[in-house]
Amino acid sequence: MPTHPLWSQISPVLANDILLHTQKNNKKLYRTAVDIVAPNIGLRSVKIMEMPKVERHGNFTRLLAHPQLEALSFNILSTWLVDNHAPMLCAWLNALGVAHDELGCASSFPADPGKAKLTAAIDTLLKQFDATNVTIYLNAFNEIDDVHWASLAEILTSDARLKIASKAAPVTEAPKTAATA
């Protein structure tokens, strides 16, 4: 499952926290987000930056929920996860026997380890970490180019523990891209 649907499921408070983290810690990525959001809501980037952060991030959240912005969504969530949730990332990779650095980043991944091993690793994570954060991470993890494990995708869609109660307004209008602008 891609990461963009998560933006319409997570709470506005969590979405704002993720975007505040990006603004503070990865200015280039945040600027990219501003430059993408601005034309999609009919404003210049300067005007976006003048908005109160909660309003600005509400606009970001609505747009990041679209498939056209999957790459930006993945990058924002990945940055937040690595910077704030390294112990969870490490625990996951340890449970799967995947070599990684101290931030929980790996350079190679095995083939799909199978449903039983993944379920056991997920059980471990859910005992130690917030279920919403685990869900965000597992969705992002399965979007890594060398991963895309069918067993994990199946678990993500079928395991009720990995569902985020929808807490944000539904997305109504697709963002403009270079092709549609």
**pLDDT tens, position by position, for the chain (181 residues)?**
799 999 999 999 999 999 999 999 999 999 999 999 899 999 999 999 999 999 999 999 999 999 999 999 999 999 999 999 999 999 999 999 999 999 999 999 999 999 999 999 999 999 999 999 999 999 999 999 999 999 999 999 999 999 987 554 444 445 555 444 4
Cβ atoms within 10 Å of 93's Cβ, excluding its own: 19
For residues 91 and 129, the answer to whether their CB atoms sit within 8 Å is yes
Residue 48 tokens read as 């976006």
Q: Which pTM was predicted?
A: 0.87
For residues 76 and 14, the answer to whether their CB atoms sit within 8 Å is no
DSSP string, 92-116: HHHHHT----TTS--S---S---HH
